Amino acid sequence: MTSSSTPRDSAGPSSIERGTLFVVAAPSGAGKSSMVNAVLAREPGIALSISYTSRAPRPGERHAHHYHFVDKAEFERMIAAGDFFEYALVHGDYKGTARQSVEPQLAAGKDVLLEIDWQGARQVREKIPDAVSVFILPPSTDTLETRMRNRGQDSEAVIAQRLAAAQEEMSHASEFDYWIVNEHFDTAANELRSIFIAHRLRREAQGRRHAGLFAGLMAGYEP
């Protein structure tokens, strides 16, 4: 993973290491976007992919900042053209990740993070089995409902629909590599960042990144 504190060793264009794809999913109201934004503010080496959606913007949401907002006909045109890396129908609206938001950046050695649902995460794993996936859970269903109500964006009918959908979404948590319970925001955000850091420090990744260093340190050693 790229970071200002742990840069990649480089020996020219041919030595570029492919980036890591991180996937973060959660039921609506679990605090996923707030956690991701907090972590990315401290991890500038990870690019957040902005998803496309066919739903209308909510109050305060901006095009190309929170989502790329397109109508349903345009989204379906993009599906037919093969423009999506992954997509799913969620709560009656399409959500998806454009190919150009992921594949070129990974090939160039950039780490990419996707905020998607479990359906999209399943499609991602089929394409990139070594993607690192994280599922964020609320501490209780009561807390989840309270957070939904506190947003003040949805009607009672929509909240009931989202709570029912959350049960379905959480039933797929076992498909993910890591679980984080977002009870205390700062703790949960630090845990998410720790996953990124730990992945960066795996032996295999460090061995590729610092092959020259390791060879120099072991020069002349004979077991």
The whole-number pLDDT of residue 56 equals 93
pLDDT of residue 15: 55
Does residue 161 sit in the same domain as residue 64?
no
Mean pLDDT of the 135-162 span? 87
41/133 same-domain check: yes
Residue 12 inside a domain? The answer is no
CATH number of the domain enclosing 221: 3.40.50.300
Check whether residue 68 and residue 93 sit in a common domain: yes
Position 10 scores a pLDDT of 39
Q: Are residues 167 and 77 in the same domain?
A: no
Cα–Cα dist 105/84, whole Å: 15
* 42 and 70 inside one domain: no
Q: What is the pLDDT of residue 1?
A: 38
Per residue in 41-93, pLDDT (tens digit) is 999 889 999 999 999 998 889 999 989 999 999 999 999 999 999 999 987 89
Instruction: Determine, yes or no, domain membership for 184.
Output: yes
Q: Is the dihedral of CA 161, 116, 47, 67 positive or negative?
A: negative
- The pLDDT assigned to 11 comes to 40
What pLDDT was estimated at residue 12? 40
Q: At which of 36, 67, 101 does a domain end?
A: 101
The verdict on 117 and 75 lying in the same domain is no
Q: What is the dihedral of CA 60, 88, 37, 146, to 10 degrees?
A: 70
Say what the pLDDT of residue 187 is: 97
- Do 60 and 81 lie in one domain? The reply is yes
User: Can you give the CATH number for the domain in which 87 is found?
Assistant: 3.30.63.10
Specify whether 31 is located in the same domain as 74: no
Same-domain pairing of 97 and 159: no
Structural domain including 116 reads 1-7+17-49+111-223
Per-residue pLDDT for 13 more than 80? Answer: no
Query: Do 80 and 119 contact (CB within 8 A), yes or no?
Result: no
Q: How many domains does the chain have?
A: 2
Point out the domain boundary residue: 83, 101, 119: 101
Tokens read off for 30: 């679990």
Question: Residue 42: its pLDDT value, please?
Answer: 94
Over the stretch 18-47, which tens digit does the pLDDT of each residue have? 899 999 999 988 999 999 999 999 998 899
**149-199 pLDDT per residue, tens:** 887 777 888 888 889 889 999 999 999 999 999 999 999 999 999 999 999
Shared domain check, 123 and 71: no
pLDDT the model gives residue 157:
87
Confirm whether 106 is domain-assigned: no
At 133, the amino acid letter reads S
Helix %, strand %, coil % of the chain (to 5): 45, 20, 35
27, 57: one domain: no
pLDDT digits (tens, 9 = 90+) for 203-221: 888 888 888 898 889 887 7
Say if residue 45 is in the same domain as residue 149: yes
CB 114 within 8 A of CB 97: yes
